[in-house]
Structure 1
Amino acid sequence: MARDGAQDSHQHQSLMYPYGPDVGDTKNPKSDDGTSPMISTAVPFTFYGKEHNKLFVNNNGVVSFGVNVSQYTPDPFPLDAGSPFVAPYWGDVNNEFGGDIWWRQTQDPKLLSRCTEDINQYFPEVPFTAVWALVATWDHVAYFGSASKKTNTFQAVLTTNEKIAFIMMNYLDIQWTTGIASGGDAKTGLGGTPAQAGFDSGDKTNYYNIPGSRTPDILNIASTTNVRVPGRWVFQVDEFVIGVTTEQSDCLV
């Protein structure tokens, strides 16, 4: 049994794209409900028909386009505000209590080759060669009001060939769902209004709530998938395409 656990841990670790200071990442400031500076992208990222070249990596588990997001209690998609964003795990992170948020945009050939290989595997019918990627990682982040050692590690990867765009969300270890300002328990990080995962284009038409969002089941997101790889969700987002096949509902594990 221990060997199986080690194999499972290795599998989940291998899902994560490299991150941290060794690969040139920038680290967000220690700030409750904080964000990165505005990031001007080297190439446009098309999100449901709209090209974006400015984004933010927000501490509360969101990559947003055009404007930063400080809201800590998640709302279900579609949002009324109309601000487009990707939410690998939208909840009340507080990196002052623990953990770091790392990000980089890159055109490194090795990283882009990995993006291309992954997307070609999951979307074999879509001709795609990555020319740019953003890797944002929430590494062992704590929740607001934490009275425990529970942390979450997850990641969002955005990649494009300047026309076709994909988002990938990787989950290494999820131990909490809710900060105390969202009704969670300080000792468990559970209860209240749990985290939301998915994306929202801002047009009230194109959006997706990953199953379990804003319910206690989101704690198990590292065991679910739409590409038959537990702990990974991948979507084409330049136009409305959910999952990769008509068998998506059979891919959840």
Structure 2
Amino acid sequence: MQSLNNMKIVPQLVFVVIFCVGQITSEQESTLYPYGASVGDKETPKEDDGASPEIESSVPFTFFGRTHKYLYVNNNGVVSFGVPVSTYTPNAFPLADGSPFVAPYWGDVDNEKSGTVYYRETTGSALLQRINEEMAKYFPNLHYKATWAFVATWDDVPYYQSLSKKTNTFQAVLHTDGKRSFIMLNYGKITWTTGGASGGNLLTGLGGVPAQAGFNSGDNTHYFNIPDSRTDNVININRTSNVDTPGRWVFQVDTFKAPGGCIFEANFARYNETFWKDDSCENKCVCNTDGEMKCTDESCPGFMVCQPSAWHFTCQISLGTCF
């Protein structure tokens, strides 16, 4: 982990200006749960690479076999268990140091001048009722009723060394019924991906090492990268979903379940999606509607060639093929 005392090295300024600031649509506003002073939220210190004080939860939260009662809300887009996280350049999951945390948008936030990071623990009936109604749509056969929730929201936060007015708004929601545990990652306005000390352009907030989204269990087995994490396309995360609600990802994390598809090597495959997992395209996999991956020996047809595609491989028509 990088220390709070580490010196940040800012890259040379590139004079390219992109006037493209996103807006929060009404649909994205509804994806975010209520937050702010009006609902009793607390705030983290307004400092670069800062974090909340240690938060002792009134209810244990089970995260892949481990029960946690102590949380930190970190300004750089992470809710961590047990220890604060000051690292500003996101690493790929799984993490070498085994740190367990949830990362709605792990990037170099600097809210010293603007933006607020809110958090609260709640058993309020209004919020829990909304969570339960939406969970019933995502997991219709689960019969789940949350009794506790923890909401962390990064509201209009800028990036480190920003020379623009670009800000991001996103949220992590942890909830449980005392036995089963879930996380929701909610996204509003997303307009930047990278801070200056992570190689980003100071005028655009793009380039360098972009933000990471997902979670890391700490056991080197259960971890997940939301598609396009640590790529330039992560700026479109508020248009993606695994529950057909743009700007929302939902996971069961006492065990490992994701509605809408399967998890394969920390990546998400939708129901009935097929791909080859090897670079010779000799092992074809399909995501079954029961959420399980099935892989069998099968090669590309003779008129197709094996090509990389995102995080896996696909059979594509050879440019030299005639029909």
In 1, Cα distance between equivalents of 2:141 and 2:180: 13
Segments of 5+ residues of structure 1 without an aligned counterpart are none
Which is greater in Rg?
2
Matched with 2:250 is 234
| Paired residues of 2:160 and 2:196 also in contact (CA < 8 A) | yes
Which residue identity is paired with 1:187?
L
Number of aligned residue pairs: 247
Give the CA deviation at 1:29: 1.0
Segments of 5+ residues of structure 2 without an aligned counterpart are 1-21, 274-323
Describe the SS at the equivalent of 1:60.
Answer: coil
In 2, Cα distance between equivalents of 1:51 and 1:244: 27
Which residue identity is paired with 1:103?
Y
Structure-to-structure mapping, 1:1-253, within 5 angstroms: 9-245=25-261, 249-250=269-270
Which one has a larger percent helix, Structure 1 or Structure 2?
Answer: 1
Describe the SS at the equivalent of 2:188.
Answer: strand
Give the CA deviation at 1:249: 3.5
Q: Deviations over 1:95-146 (max 9, x none)?
A: 1132000000000011111111111211112221111000100000000000
In 1, Cα distance between equivalents of 2:100 and 2:141: 27
In 2, Cα distance between equivalents of 1:94 and 1:189: 12
Which residue identity is paired with 1:108?
G
Describe the SS at the equivalent of 1:128.
Answer: coil
Give the CA deviation at 1:225: 0.5
Which residue identity is paired with 1:111?
L
| Paired residues of 1:97 and 1:146 also in contact (CA < 8 A) | no
Report the TM-score when normalising by structure 1.
0.94
Q: Deviations over 1:151-182 (max 9, x none)?
A: 00000110001110000011001000000000
Superposition RMSD in Å: 1.8
Q: Deviations over 1:72-104 (max 9, x none)?
A: 000000001111000000000001132000000
| Paired residues of 1:60 and 1:93 also in contact (CA < 8 A) | yes
Describe the SS at the equivalent of 1:173.
Answer: coil
More contact order relative to length (CA 8 Å, sep ≥ 6): 1
Q: Deviations over 1:183-227 (max 9, x none)?
A: 000000000000000000000000000000000010000000000
In 2, Cα distance between equivalents of 1:167 and 1:11: 20
| Paired residues of 1:235 and 1:244 also in contact (CA < 8 A) | no
Which residue identity is paired with 1:205?
T
Describe the SS at the equivalent of 1:68.
Answer: coil
| Paired residues of 2:114 and 2:156 also in contact (CA < 8 A) | yes
In 2, Cα distance between equivalents of 1:113 and 1:245: 25
Describe the SS at the equivalent of 2:251.
Answer: strand
In 2, Cα distance between equivalents of 1:242 and 1:133: 19
In 2, Cα distance between equivalents of 1:58 and 1:121: 31
Structure 1 ranges of 4+ moved more than 2 A: 242-252
In 2, Cα distance between equivalents of 1:59 and 1:201: 20
Report the TM-score when normalising by structure 2.
0.74
In 2, Cα distance between equivalents of 1:243 and 1:210: 14
